[in-house]
Amino acid sequence: MKPLPSPQALRLLQGLIRRPCLATRPRPCPPFLHLSKHFHAAARLDRTETHVLSDIGEGVKEVQIIQWFVEEGAPIEEWSPLCEVQSDKASVEITSKYSGVIKKIHFGQDAVVQVGDSMVDIEVEGEEGEGEVEDNAVQQQQQNSSDLADAEQLAEGGGEAVREEAELLEEKAAPGLRSEPSGKHASLATPAVRGLLKEHGLAIEDIPGTGKDGRVLKEDVHRYLEKGSGQPSPSPSSAPPAATRPEVDAKQTETPQKLTPVQAAMFKSMTASLNIPHFLYSDTADITNLALMRAKLNAARNPETAPKYTYLPFIIKAVSLALNKYPLLNARLDVTTDPKKPQLLMRPVHNIGIAMDTPNGLIVPVIKAVNARSITSISQEIQRLSQLGQAGKLGNNDLTGGTITVTNIGNIGGEVVAPVIVEGQLAIVGVGKVKTVPVFADDGLTVKPAQVANISWSADHRVVDGATMARMAQVVQKYLEEPSSMLVDMS
């Protein structure tokens, strides 16, 4: 079998067969007219650089790989995305430190990578030392001449023969030398798109992407679903047979399924939370006056400049005002510096996390410096975080630094919740569904409708006693029942 030409000769051959003159001339155009770019004044030196997982902050020691944006043999540019990883804090996109060709990927999808581990090997192009340039330049010139001769010899048989030979060689050549795209963008998609695919049980490879470099967009998924729904439904004869349904005496089976990155992060976080001794405090707040104020504000607002007010920004501001009176609930318990002498770390800034339901699962973005914000500012920040959360684009800074958490389970349903404290915090508040109930008026005789909601607290019983928690809860309840009193205490 005739030996394959060198990679350099292959590149020259590919340049030859793509020139228009091959369609009309029996011999290729002179190679020196269009291949001079392959000559270098200095010799090229291909070396391999290893991209390691750097420290991404916030004490993160390991991450789980959600998806790779590259594959072995594909070219990569500096600062281009390599992969997306999920820590117990946030989803982060890792970018390349080098430009070159991916030689080896050390970890697969869903693998857990420690900080400092090698992630990928990248073959990069560099220059040799000055002492070796002259000798190697001569060798390179001789090699280039040989490569040109090989390319011209392969081109002797005419355009079609060269084309067939080139196709055969490209199939056998290393993937990194192929001039056609290697398809590394075929599986690119945002977490929101992947959540949509998972919801409908679709494979991303089956959907044509119309985004940049073939990226699959939400519109592509919806278009694919509409096309599928327009097809005629299968006839009854093609429906799954009744035998596929379990029999009454069928044996139970269990199919392993890996946790999603968000579920894995929640598993770790909640497992750590089990070390905190919880206690629950719950009460019902009459928020009729708040409901009336909210309705007036929404009716008078300019939709183009002001966000729509929900109950949540008022609740968050009420919690922040109450923390001014009970700063203990904003502190952190330090048991690692000296386990024999635990201490409280007091924190003056109120960074309040909000539990949020997203296509990727439960996440807790953080509204920073609530004690320096107005209710309108809080509402705008909730809107920003919600939009990023639905799109799967929340950054590490959006998901870290919380000092206390609010979870509004009432948006989905349920009146009472026993929330679990987030590690590094001392308390969490859960708000139930707002409902209308009959209550007695001040005269004790007449009955009137009222808007009420259950508010439940969980606190760390190692440093927070029941009385302190109850007093804190009463202050928050007062602010919600008489929202005008918040104006007096706002600084």
Give the CATH number, domain containing residue 198.
Answer: 4.10.320.10
% pLDDT > 70, the chain: 71
CA distance linking residue 410 with residue 139, whole number of Å: 75
On whether both 333 and 468 belong to a single domain, the answer is: yes
On whether both 56 and 137 belong to a single domain, the answer is: no
Average pLDDT on 423-436 reads 93
Given 110, 286, 461, 489, the catalytic residue: 461
Tell me what pLDDT residue 349 has.
97
Q: Are strands 427-431 and 447-460 parallel, antiparallel or unpaired?
A: antiparallel
**Owner of token pair 């609930």:** 329
User: Domain count of the chain?
Assistant: 4
Tell me what pLDDT residue 104 has.
93
Top-confidence residue, 439 or 185: 439
On whether both 281 and 396 belong to a single domain, the answer is: yes
Question: Going by C-beta distance under 8 Å and a sequence separation of 6 or more, which residues neighbour residue 172?
Answer: 4
Tell me what pLDDT residue 350 has.
97
Tell me what pLDDT residue 434 has.
92
CA distance linking residue 96 with residue 80, whole number of Å: 6
Tell me what pLDDT residue 395 has.
82
In this predicted structure, the answer to whether residue 248 has a pLDDT above a threshold of 60 is yes
| Closest by CA position to 453, among listed 426, 428, 473 | 473
- Count of residues for the chain? 491
CA distance linking residue 203 with residue 206, whole number of Å: 6
On whether both 60 and 13 belong to a single domain, the answer is: no
Name the strand (E) or helix (H) holding 478. Answer: helix 466-481
CATH number at 87 reads 2.40.50.100
Q: Which is it for the CA torsion 20, 25, 26, 28, positive or negative? A: negative
**Owner of token pair 């183009």:** 304
Residue 350 identity: H
CA distance linking residue 205 with residue 216, whole number of Å: 9
Given 46, 55, 213, 465, the catalytic residue: 465
On whether both 75 and 143 belong to a single domain, the answer is: no
Q: Which two tokens stand for residue 14?
A: 């590919």
CA distance linking residue 310 with residue 286, whole number of Å: 16
Tell me what pLDDT residue 202 has.
83
Confirm whether 99 is domain-assigned: yes
Full residue range of the structural domain in which residue 138 is found:
1-43+128-184
- The per-residue pLDDT for range 344-363, each reduced to its tens digit, is 999 999 999 999 888 877 88
CA distance linking residue 283 with residue 454, whole number of Å: 6
Q: Are strands 404-408 and 427-431 parallel, antiparallel or unpaired?
A: parallel
Highest mean pLDDT among 51-60, 64-73, 139-148, 170-179: 64-73
465 is known as an active-site residue: yes
Average pLDDT on 29-47 reads 50
On whether both 303 and 446 belong to a single domain, the answer is: yes
In this predicted structure, the answer to whether residue 233 has a pLDDT above a threshold of 50 is no
Q: Count the alpha carbons within 13 Å of 442 in the hemisphere toward its beta carbon.
A: 0
Top-confidence residue, 59 or 426: 426
461 is known as an active-site residue: yes
On whether both 111 and 139 belong to a single domain, the answer is: no
CA distance linking residue 64 with residue 398, whole number of Å: 19
Confirm whether 268 is domain-assigned: no
**Owner of token pair 């509409």:** 226
On whether both 169 and 301 belong to a single domain, the answer is: no
pLDDT mean across residues, the chain: 78
Write the DSSP symbol of residue 336.
S
Tell me what pLDDT residue 188 has.
59
Top-confidence residue, 179 or 339: 339
CA distance linking residue 219 with residue 293, whole number of Å: 39
Q: Count the alpha carbons within 13 Å of 356 in the hemisphere toward its beta carbon.
A: 26
| Closest by CA position to 317, among listed 400, 387, 377 | 377
On whether both 63 and 165 belong to a single domain, the answer is: no
CA distance linking residue 106 with residue 89, whole number of Å: 23
Average pLDDT on 468-489 reads 94
On whether both 220 and 95 belong to a single domain, the answer is: no
| Closest by CA position to 462, among listed 324, 292, 273 | 273
On whether both 91 and 113 belong to a single domain, the answer is: yes
| Closest by CA position to 319, among listed 391, 400, 402 | 402
Could you give the maximum distance between any two Cα atoms of the chain, in Å?
107
Out of 135-144, 194-203, 423-432, 475-484, which region has the weakest mean confidence (pLDDT)?
Answer: 135-144
